[in-house]
Structure 1
Amino acid sequence: MCPSVVLEKGAVFLADGHENDQRSYLKEFLSNVASGEIPLPTQLFLMGDMFDLLVGNISYTRQLHAQTLEALEALAQRIPVYYLEGNHDFNLSVLFLHVKVVPIEQQPLHVKTPQGTWLLLHGDKYGYWKHRFYTRFIRSSWVLWVLEKLDIGFSRSISKNLLAFLAQKHICRSIEGFEAKTRGRLELYPLNGVVGVMEGHFHQDAQFEVGSVRYINFSSFACDQSYFVVQCVNSIHCAKQYLRGNNV
């Protein structure tokens, strides 16, 4: 498990960018930070699914996002960058020297605040056994070795067809009964001694109390180009900001 992290004022949370050849918001965000147009965060937490498809073992996906990966690595030499792997982006440790990658096995990441410990995770770790089996299977080195060989042999058609399919998915939608479903799901989380949970994956931009635990689900950066800046670590007040203005 990754060691506990101390949350700092000015930290930025960014979730579910789903970067592809039609969306380059993450690349734009990193460019704006590099230029000073967006103030330099004290910490950057990437909450998973930042790309529609990025697998460390699949070379085509690495090549597709090479410039964005270079920008992330450059930023990680200036500030701590924590990348929590999602279900669209995983086996990423081989891609970075300075970005702190948190694979699903090491989630949730424990973050210390003056009010207590918060859990950070992408949001897809605790589910039905079929999903848990799939997450292990698709991350297996031998499965990905076979997929990489097939992808090369078929002129990258596997990666290209999968990317085309993912680009057509409707990811910006409300989940009916989300709060009730979340309350049930949180029973699987290790909440002993925890004051809050922050995660992405569901794209709902919602927060509520579950017993003594505060729950925050971030909106999708792909949907509204919003990210969250910690203005107060005592109360975990996150100001919602937008890539192109209209900040609140």
Structure 2
Amino acid sequence: MFHNIKYDAIFVADSHYNQNHQEFLTFLKKLNSGEITATQLILMGDNFDFISGECKYFIKINQELIDILNILSQNIEILYLEGNHDYNMQVLFPNIKVIKRENQPYICKTQDGKSIALSHGDNFIDWKYDLYCSIIRNSTLLKFLNILDFNFSISKKIENALLGKSICHDMKNFEELVKKRVKNYKTDLIIEGHYHQGKSYNIDNKFYVNIPSLCCSKEFSRFTKDGFKKESL
């Protein structure tokens, strides 16, 4: 299925929303108030530091964001690509088109007819990582873990571990990684998140864009007739 990406669409990636990183909530409030405007909102994954449709504790602590996103989805077309921190979310967002990892890259077209591939960016790794991803996304397993999560003890350990992670860094060999990743795509444009680098490259007649991490650089990207433009929160 082809999805048309409109000019003025906003792309947001890797907000990793938690009590230390509030940028995603700030962004959504500005979008809801009209201070930021967009024809479409494309969420590139990992905008929650962790959430899944089965995990009651993380749904509870992220409820404000869930509510705002569902309000926004009544007036703005929203596409959400699941990442490695946020998955099994369709049940949370009935009016948002949620693209699971196994359905990425999601192939779209721009208004001028160019093909564009959207991926969170943690695909095309290897079979071991694919297996790991399928296990941690298993809905039955996650529901069973909820039963064992007395007083949210497991969830709070996960939350504390995530809060202690350092996620903002400069990848010295990022262009070399991109050259390898581009080989997996056949579209004119390739848009990814995941790597927190916010850089773009022309490689093999393909234009690659890594959407900046909202929590690291306080930036998101807007798609215009002249290409992708970074905007500050």
Task: Flag whether TM exceeds 0.5 (same fold).
Answer: yes
Q: CA deviation at 1:231?
A: 2.1
- Aligned letter for 1:238? F
- Aligned letter for 1:49? D
- Aligned letter for 1:101? V
Which of residues 114, 120, 123 in structure 2 aligns to 1:125?
123
Which of residues 211, 217, 228 in structure 2 aligns to 1:218?
211
Q: Structure 2: how far apart are the matches of 1:239 and 1:138? A: 35
> What is the SS of the residue equivalent to 2:180?
helix
Q: Structure 1: how far apart are the matches of 2:96 and 2:29? A: 17
User: Are residues 1:166 and 2:162 paired?
Assistant: yes
Q: CA deviation at 1:176?
A: 2.1
Q: Structure 1: how far apart are the matches of 2:172 and 2:221? A: 24
Q: 2:180 maps to which residue?
A: 184
Q: 2:139 maps to which residue?
A: 141
Q: TM-score, normalised by structure 2?
A: 0.96
Q: Structure 2: how far apart are the matches of 1:210 and 1:144? A: 40
User: Over residues 185-214 of structure 1, what are the superposed CA-to-partner deviations in whole Å (9 max), with x where a residue is unaligned?
Assistant: 333x242xx111000000011111220111
Q: Structure 2: how far apart are the matches of 1:217 and 1:134? A: 24
Query: 5+ unaligned residues in a row in structure 2: which ranges?
Result: none
Q: CA deviation at 1:12?
A: 0.2
Q: Which stretches of structure 1, 4 residues or more, deviate above 2 A after TM superposition?
A: none
Q: 1:110 maps to which residue?
A: 107
Q: Structure 1: how far apart are the matches of 2:25 and 2:92? A: 16
Report how many aligned residue pairs link the two structures: 232
> What is the SS of the residue equivalent to 1:142?
helix
CA contact (8 A) 1:121 1:200 kept: yes
Q: 2:148 maps to which residue?
A: 150
Q: Structure 2: how far apart are the matches of 1:36 and 1:141? A: 36
RMSD: 1.2
Q: 1:28 maps to which residue?
A: 26
- List aligned pairs for 1:1-248, cutoff 5 A: 3-38=1-36, 40-113=37-110, 114-151=112-149, 153=150, 155-187=151-183, 189-191=184-186, 194-232=187-225, 235=226, 237-243=227-233
- Aligned letter for 1:199? E
Q: CA deviation at 1:115?
A: 4.8
> What is the SS of the residue equivalent to 1:222?
helix
Q: CA deviation at 1:146?
A: 1.9
Percent same amino acid among aligned pairs? 35
> What is the SS of the residue equivalent to 1:101?
strand
Q: Structure 2: how far apart are the matches of 1:32 and 1:186? A: 34
Q: Structure 1: how far apart are the matches of 2:23 and 2:41? A: 15
> What is the SS of the residue equivalent to 1:69?
helix
- Aligned letter for 1:112? K
- Aligned letter for 2:177? K
CA contact (8 A) 1:226 1:240 kept: yes
- Aligned letter for 2:34? G
